[in-house]
Amino acid sequence: MIKCYPFNLLFVNIALICLDVVLAFIAFFQLCRIHLRNQRVGWTRQKVLHLMIGSSNCGYFIYFLCMVVATCKRWLCWSNVCGFVLMALPKILFLAAFLLLLSFWADLCHQANDEEDGDEENSSRKPLLETSKTKVGLSNIDIRRKCCSFQGIRVGSRQKFVIVVIVLNVLLIIAFAAIIRIEQKNPSNSLVFARVYIDFLATLVLLMGVAFGCYGFLLFSKLRRVRSEKASSEMRKVVGLAVVSVLCFTSSSLIALFMDVLLFHHWNPEKINGVKALILLILHHVLGSSVPFAFGLWFMRELPAPSTSNRQVQPRAITFISYGSAGRHHHQYCPTATSSEKQVSRTSPN
């Protein structure tokens, strides 16, 4: 296999495969822990994001593994449809995970703005994947139906927009794959269309990084007005993820936009020569996927409060993701609390 594939690229692929396997294992292991601890709640935001992170890293694992095998076995479909689809799907899952995360931040920012305007009716709104309160005395059949079904999921307007964006991206993948399949007799045209799609995705990721920076700053400015240990903890998480998102998304997007290492890595691996190209290739994947995923898993490492059949759950919460296991009537601050204090209280799943 070493003779049919450049040794330096083989080493890079193995390293990236190991990294993706570790992140996928952590994501699915944490998902199992969350589900076993809180089975009655069903699918929550936290569970869905762990599922997306694990699935995206599994997709990258399959892609890097198939890249080596396809090159050595000379798979004919790898240079057109098969390789392009395997390259694009993990990135779509990556976009879906962080766009959903961004939509939760947007919900918090705009919900807080509505409260400051005196519109308290918005407190009844429930964004994506916030399930209703577990009823007392549920039977085992009801519990199994709830934890295995999506009927309790409520989708907000911003999350619907994210779903539309992801669906359009999937349709775009199908369209580009069909064009590449038609142009397979002319490899230069296939490379042009692949280049266009890579630039499109890089631009989308760059805009997403800017949006994370903006909404992160808005949340930070609102939480800074609240003096409490909880608000300080939430503020550190917001700042950490916002800074990581801006730096990583911007760096990986610029590499994809102005360098050809991604095209060469997929279609012409023998053209990647020198340490500089290898470093750019590693930086693009690590900064564009692994580091943001690792930070997201770290910030979501806390387990929700366990659900029981004879008491209402009072969950812990983090600013950018809620566990979705609480009822609407949780503890509120005193009547003299400021609107900013109410915002911190509402970062819990209401």
Task: Look at residue 192 and tell me whether its pLDDT is greater than 80.
Answer: yes
Q: Is there a domain that residue 145 lies in? A: no
Buried b / exposed e along 159-189 (16+ C-beta atoms within 10 A): beebbeebeebeeebeebbebbeebeeeeee
Q: Is there a domain that residue 54 lies in? A: yes
> Which residue is it, tokens 């040794």?
7
Q: Is there a domain that residue 320 lies in? A: no
- 118 conformational bin, left if phi > 0, alpha if psi -120 to 50, beta if neither: left
Q: What is the pLDDT of residue 121?
A: 42
Query: Hey, which of 117-126, 199-208, 307-316 has the most confident mean pLDDT?
Result: 199-208
Residue with the bigger pLDDT between 149 and 100: it is 100
Domain range holding 100? 7-115+158-300
Kindly report which listed range (75-84, 211-220, 237-246, 320-329) carries the lowest average pLDDT score.
320-329
Q: What is the pLDDT of residue 181?
A: 85
Task: Report the chain's C-alpha Rg in angstroms.
Answer: 22
Q: Is there a domain that residue 17 lies in? A: yes
Q: What is the pLDDT of residue 29?
A: 94
Task: Look at residue 1 and tell me whether its pLDDT is greater than 50.
Answer: no
E-strand ranges in the chain read none
Residue with the bigger pLDDT between 272 and 255: it is 255
Give the pLDDT band of residue 247 (cuts 50, 70, 90).
very high
Q: Is there a domain that residue 21 lies in? A: yes
Mean pLDDT to the nearest integer, 37-66: 88
Give the pLDDT band of residue 51 (cuts 50, 70, 90).
very high
Task: Look at residue 194 and tell me whether its pLDDT is greater than 50.
Answer: yes
Q: Is there a domain that residue 316 lies in? A: no
Q: Is there a domain that residue 73 lies in? A: yes
Mean pLDDT to the nearest integer, 41-62: 89
Kindly report which listed range (3-12, 137-146, 300-309) carries the lowest average pLDDT score.
137-146
Mean pLDDT to the nearest integer, 279-286: 92
List CB contacts of 337: < 8 A, sequence separation 6 or more. Answer: none
Q: What is the pLDDT of residue 114?
A: 55
Q: What is the pLDDT of residue 350?
A: 37
Task: Look at residue 295 and tell me whether its pLDDT is greater than 50.
Answer: yes
Q: What is the pLDDT of residue 104?
A: 86
How far the first Cα of the chain sits from its last, in Å, is 55
Q: What's the CA gap between 350 and 124, in Å, rounded? A: 9
Mean pLDDT to the nearest integer, 179-199: 83
Q: Is there a domain that residue 151 lies in? A: no
Q: Torsion over CA of 298, 299, 300 and 301, rounded to 10 degrees?
A: 50
What's the whole-number average pLDDT of the chain? Answer: 76
Q: What's the CA gap between 234 and 221, in Å, rounded? A: 12
Give the pLDDT band of residue 304 (cuts 50, 70, 90).
low
332 closest CA partner among 120, 190, 102? 120
Task: Look at residue 116 and tell me whether its pLDDT is greater than 90.
Answer: no
Query: Hey, which of 23-32, 80-89, 227-236 has the most confident mean pLDDT?
Result: 23-32
Give the pLDDT band of residue 305 (cuts 50, 70, 90).
low
Mean pLDDT to the nearest integer, 30-44: 81
pLDDT tens for residues 118-176?
444 443 334 334 433 344 444 444 444 444 444 445 567 788 888 899 999 999 999 99
Mean pLDDT to the nearest integer, 41-63: 90
241: its two tokens: 């993820």
Task: Look at residue 14 and tell me whether its pLDDT is greater than 60.
Answer: yes
Sign of torsion, CA 283 286 287 288? positive
Could you tell me the CATH number of the domain that includes residue 196? 1.20.1070
Could you give the number of structural domains in the chain? 1
